Structure 1
């Protein structure tokens, strides 16, 4: 984080500070059903308001494709944000640029907060249109990016706006970057990565990047089946990508050449039907029947993974070990997640997780708040794991 401007030395008093957040939160019947992202983003807003800034909050919501869609208005979010900020009044503007936005911003006093309407009501947002970016920038004196989850997109409110305003990293974005650096770039060794999910094809770049950054890679979920198939094992009717067995063997060979231990399942929980509480049994991976589907890893594999964690100081988790949404195929994911959480609480393991189903899997295991850091960034988290440069982060770098 040394090459980013942080909020620590920012004199914000009397300044109009535009804060890009990600308030694209779950909604039902016009009400916010999960305010986690709003709660996380509140820290930066409170700090800036406390410093006497006129805080201008901007966000997208849904995919209106450059048109005004009343069902995707941020107005209900203004009410929730006010509640999260302990009743602090949040002004709302019916547009994010133009007269409506200018009037609301112009009426702000030091320490007050306004939320502007959905950025994606304007086609210029997703096109990173310079004119739209300039119109946004004209509303403020300083720009703060606090939306890591949007930073893999070269949009006007993430990239274009930085051409006209001094840019800073917000507290949430700063925390996210520091956590990822701790798990990847500067991880305490030995370091392990647990990579699960359905398909190898979606994680090829992740695995390739991790080979140079960790000491052990634990592979689970449907993608493990492709590796087992590549070893010549019969996997019955299990989900696998047969056309990627050569790539799986290549990854295994690269791991071996770099002294990275690849931890694959040695047993699996199989069933002939993919449904809740389907009759199942645990078998060795060498004894999978022709009609069987591997839907979770077995106890021997769970024990091996937990033994691996005991020998490590850092764990990066991306993806479940099995079909955790359907019992009893959640057992491995829950057991390993709880072990990782316990080691974290004991100060023996730094745990960073995120991406896709990972947040839901850890919540299901009851450990979402027991890991060192859990990212809700989704696509941005995955691209970071792949080693890609994120446009929104590049735009913040100091020259």
Structure 2
């Protein structure tokens, strides 16, 4: 993968930088600027080399030119973080020649998500070189992540480079033992990750609602728990292929409804009573998982242990998050809800690597080719 050093002299050249500024936004207020801050090292390094920046990003999934999805609040926040004026261009035909310019939401362009070569050519005509630092969008072949890279001298930014090298390193040569923690709602969403870690991990810890297809496959009752029927057969295969590696919860915290006000029932076992739903792993599970994490040489975590957004059911995810943060080995968190949990508990700065790309990180772990990365080879 080509890196910034492969671009050569950049003094007074304009560099088209694809960044991932798809931040939570409500009423024009940014809820979490972590993705903006993650891009700063690349932007600062390019400016140090004398480059002028033309930034491109998407925000949400607008239907046409919907200004509710304008990047204006993002440009304002980047101005504060970068310490330089960031000018927002109205459209591709009126791009000012400033030191730091941000294009309006690229998904306002109908050809963006179609990897349209004509749109990519319009992008390329605005710059002398291309840098992709948007790992969170690297698994999509879009005009600003793929087609443009074939038209200009191109390279990975520092964030994209670190993401790829870190995640590939987990699979290639991790310090042992390698412990994978896989949670979330659906087995089918994480099947490729589970299969990948059955090959390379020493232990796979499973939590969240995705444990219930495993329990059902074993003949246990799951009550009213979220249990993906399509996940039962894959869960059986995972158990058959990884019986010596897979660890499942041994106790649960249940409720009558997915609600912070629901009565809470602790179940010392894994059979869920009728009318109840499992919403968190129990304390024995959390303690056992914590011990395994503490002894790991490498930890990869993707997916919460339960409904951590509801206070009565956050303890399991909190315990795992604290164990990962305290682990002495290399700790990698694969974005998405796991990253949100770390931030909720104030632990985001206490892991080795916090990925900015949930879907992209999972696809890379699964061994899939990321178009935005492949084109930089």
TM-score interval, normalised by the smaller of the two chains: over 0.9
Which residue matches 1:43?
A: 41
Please tell me whether residue 336 in structure 1 is matched to residue 345 in structure 2.
no
Indicate the SS of the match to 1:285. coil
Rounded to whole Å, the distance in 1 between the matches of 2:286 and 2:239 is 21
Contact 2:3/2:161 (<8 A) preserved: no
Please tell me whether residue 27 in structure 1 is matched to residue 7 in structure 2.
no
Shift of 1:32: 3.0
Indicate the SS of the match to 1:34. coil
Which residue matches 2:346?
A: 366
- List alignment gaps of at least 5 residues for structure 2: none
Which residue matches 1:230?
A: 217
Contact 2:203/2:245 (<8 A) preserved: yes
Rounded to whole Å, the distance in 2 between the matches of 1:359 and 1:394 is 26
Please tell me whether residue 208 in structure 1 is matched to residue 195 in structure 2.
yes
TM-score, normalised by the number of residues in structure 1:
0.89
In our comparison, the structure showing a higher alpha carbon Rg is 1
Please tell me whether residue 78 in structure 1 is matched to residue 84 in structure 2.
no
Shift of 1:140: 1.0
Contact 2:7/2:153 (<8 A) preserved: no
Please tell me whether residue 94 in structure 1 is matched to residue 81 in structure 2.
no
Please tell me whether residue 357 in structure 1 is matched to residue 337 in structure 2.
yes
Contact 2:179/2:201 (<8 A) preserved: yes
Rounded to whole Å, the distance in 2 between the matches of 1:64 and 1:279 is 39
Indicate the SS of the match to 2:360. helix
Indicate the SS of the match to 1:131. helix
Indicate the SS of the match to 1:246. helix
Shift of 1:27: 2.2
Which residue matches 2:290?
A: 306
Which residue matches 2:8?
A: 10
Q: 1:73 to 1:326 in 2, by over 3 A?
A: closer
- List alignment gaps of at least 5 residues for structure 1: none
What is the count of residue pairs matched by the alignment? 377
Rounded to whole Å, the distance in 2 between the matches of 1:380 and 1:320 is 18
TM-score, normalised by the number of residues in structure 2:
0.94
Rounded to whole Å, the distance in 2 between the matches of 1:124 and 1:326 is 40
Please tell me whether residue 385 in structure 1 is matched to residue 365 in structure 2.
yes
Deviations 1:287-309 (A, max 9, x none): 53223322211122112111211
Provide the alpha-carbon RMSD of the alignment: 1.8
Please tell me whether residue 240 in structure 1 is matched to residue 234 in structure 2.
no
Rounded to whole Å, the distance in 2 between the matches of 1:125 and 1:335 is 41
Deviations 1:185-209 (A, max 9, x none): 3321110111111111211122112
